[in-house]
Chains A and B, each alone.
Chain A
Amino acid sequence: MSITEAVSTTRSSQIKRMVSPFLRTKILFGGVVVTALFVIGLLAPFISPFDPNRQDLDATMIQPQWLWGKHLLGTDQLGRDVLSRIFHGARISLVIAVAVAVLSGLIGTTLGAISGYRSGRMDLLIQKSVEVMWAFPPLLFAITLIAFLGQSLHILILALVLQRWIPFCRVARAQALTLRSRDFVAAATALGATHTRILCSHIIPNLIQTSFVVGTFAMATAIISEASLSFLGLGVPREIPTWGSMLSDSRAHISTAWWLPLFPGLFILVTVLGINLLGDGLRDVLDPKLNRSGTRGSL
């Protein structure tokens, strides 16, 4: 390579050096955490030492016994085992996170692809709705919906999806716009393919990779949103143990039972951290430019 190339390679290898120590550890750690979450969530009923809702009024407010007792992470004010509740909470968080990510991914990517590919009125309409909806604070939106429509798992997922589809839409649209002018699309059109066919067989498959990355971030925010809503008493109905409601319950006992607020929140943190790391790592590999297209942070 010439010296000019060397200088710019220097810059890109600089960037490489910035990224690579993180890169593999990011994906590794993130991947481990996400897998652990999945495993715990799926196997919760089998690996929980106790029934999460079983109250034992003789065994209330026991400090974490770690490995020396039956209640590894202690019990709450009603004698329910904290660890089991956490495992089951993982389950719920998982279900909701995946559901929200998948649903909003499907809706958002499709709409974004159509919007970017077709332009014209459809595009304008979708764009305007995106603008307006994006302008509204996500959690408030969810709270509003739930306040009026009542509290249930379905409403919760609906509320979260209605906000989370937007980053998918934006990214997909941007990509569809660039893909649209590529040669293989022109070739397909010349061969007589209909728009729908082009969309389905050519455009959308190319969007899957980046949608995946956006999906991981959507999962992370979904978990935090669900936890926040449950904390406020507006999320999943009370009978189901979730990390958010555990945190809410812990408030009353915060001065006496430090383990009650600590562990559920810690699990939330580690889970979201892992997912974010994974998403970040994937994005660094696939497309560093994604950072700027408005994938919103948490809450």
Chain B
Amino acid sequence: MFGYVMRRLFATVPVVLVVTIIVFSLIHMAPGDPLTLLLSEDANETTIKLAREKWGLDQPIYVQYLNYLSILVHGDLGMSFKYGDPVVSVIASRMPATIELAIAAMIISVSIALPLGALAGARPNSWIDNIGSSIGFLGISMPGFWLGLILILFLSGTLHLLPSSGRDSFGIADAPITGIYLLDSLINRDLDQARDAITHLAMPALALGINMVGMLMRVTRSAMIEIMHEDFITTARAKGAPEHRVIWLHGMRNALIPVLTVVGLELGTLLSGSVIVETVFAWPGTGSLLISAINSRDYPLVIGTILAYTLIFVIINFVIDLLYPLVDPRIRLA
């Protein structure tokens, strides 16, 4: 088990390295001098000279790269032009919003997709399978951001049920503890804030999660169809277990393994999706930060955000890897 954890940990290193290489190469491949990218327009002579030294721009390329790595490791991502603050703090302030959104989307997806997929797989060709499979299909074909727009159109525009953008109404959120509004409000037992957080979270989370719902539903369904034909299912029935028990405790429990694999794979999609969904809903997370940074040519911020995303991604994947031993005893003990 320990070996497994270590192995997964080490596996993350190449990914991070490759991303830094890619970013580094892109900085140099972009039209123009790297300096124009990385420094704001009103940088004076001294700043430019210092930067040139710091990044060793007159040195051979691999030295520059190593230089770059050491700068990164020190947590120095530069200064944002737009905000005038260190990139690190800008990103840090927006990160919790994205995490909240991603987690909410995952929870919604899993709660819809898993039960539906399990029932659809346990009873193929039934009405529930037809509905479930259709939802699954729709889910993977749906452009998530379009769903967001349509939701805004109906739920905000026509029905006035939910707010159309933003994360909170007029700064209701105060005294943030984790930065995740919903959690904070529950910790603070502030029901108004909680309700406000949920109404703002609902649509973006659904728009973000819809693709995952589709994918997850289909995988759960096909895993269940296979599993329900296994011998141990017959054994369970022979023991006199009622069908619902057979489906959930025996069938679904085993289907969790391939399902977890897919959740891990789809995580990347979820993260990239957040960039768009945050833009649609003006959700103040790192996704919308990235887009506005690109639009204002604030390259240090762009680079910083991309690296931050990589880090989040790698961490979440690692966490999911850690979940495997929980659902599959063969990994836990082997």
**A and B in contact, CB less than 8 Å:** yes
B149–A247 touching, CB < 8 Å = yes
A residues less than 8 Å from B142 (CB atoms)? 269, 272, 298
Is A234 located at the chain interface by the 8 A CB criterion?
Answer: yes
- Judging by beta carbons under 8 Å apart, are B271 and A262 in contact? no
Chain B residues numbered 1-39 whose CB sits less than 8 Å from any CB in chain A: 14-15, 18-19, 22-23, 26-27, 29-31
> What is the size category of the interface that chain B forms with chain A?
35 or more
A150: CB under 8 A from chain B?
A: yes
Q: Report yes or no: A297 in contact with B26, Cβ–Cβ below 8 A.
A: no
Main secondary structure of the interface of A (DSSP, over half): helix
Q: Is there contact, CB below 8 Å, between A144 and B23?
A: yes
> Please, what's the 1-or-0 string for A1-27, where 1 marks a CB less than 8 Å from any CB in chain B?
000000000010010011001100000
CB neighbours (8 Å) of A147 from chain B are: 294, 302
Contact status A143-B137, CB under 8 Å: no
Contact B266 A135 (CB under 8 A): no
Whether A50 sits at the interface, judged by CB under 8 Å, is no
Question: How many A residues touch B, CB cutoff 8 Å?
Answer: 55
Of B125, B211, B265, which one neighbours A299 at CB under 8 angstroms? B211
* Residue in A closest to B124 when the chains form the complex, CB atoms: A18
User: B54-62, B74-82, B309-317: which lies at the A interface?
Assistant: B309-317
Partner of B141 from A220, A258, A292 at Cβ < 8 Å: A220
Q: Which residues of B contact A145 (CB under 8 A)?
A: 26
Quick one: which of A140, A148, A251, A254 contacts B30, CB cutoff 8 A?
A148
- Decide if A49 is an interface residue (CB 8 Å cutoff): no
Contact B26 A148 (CB under 8 A): yes
Q: Out of A140, A262, A291, which one reaches B306, CB within 8 Å?
A: A140
Is A137 in contact with B26, judged by CB distance below 8 angstroms? Answer: no
- Residue A191 lies at the interface, judged by CB distance under 8 Å to chain B: no
B101 within 8 A of A: no
Q: Does A68 contact B (CB under 8 A)?
A: no
> Which residues on A are within 8 Å of B, measured CB to CB?
11, 14, 17-18, 21-22, 128, 131-133, 135-140, 143-145, 147-150, 220, 224, 227-228, 231-234, 247, 250-251, 254-255, 258, 261-262, 264-265, 268-269, 272-273, 276-277, 280, 291-292, 294, 296-299
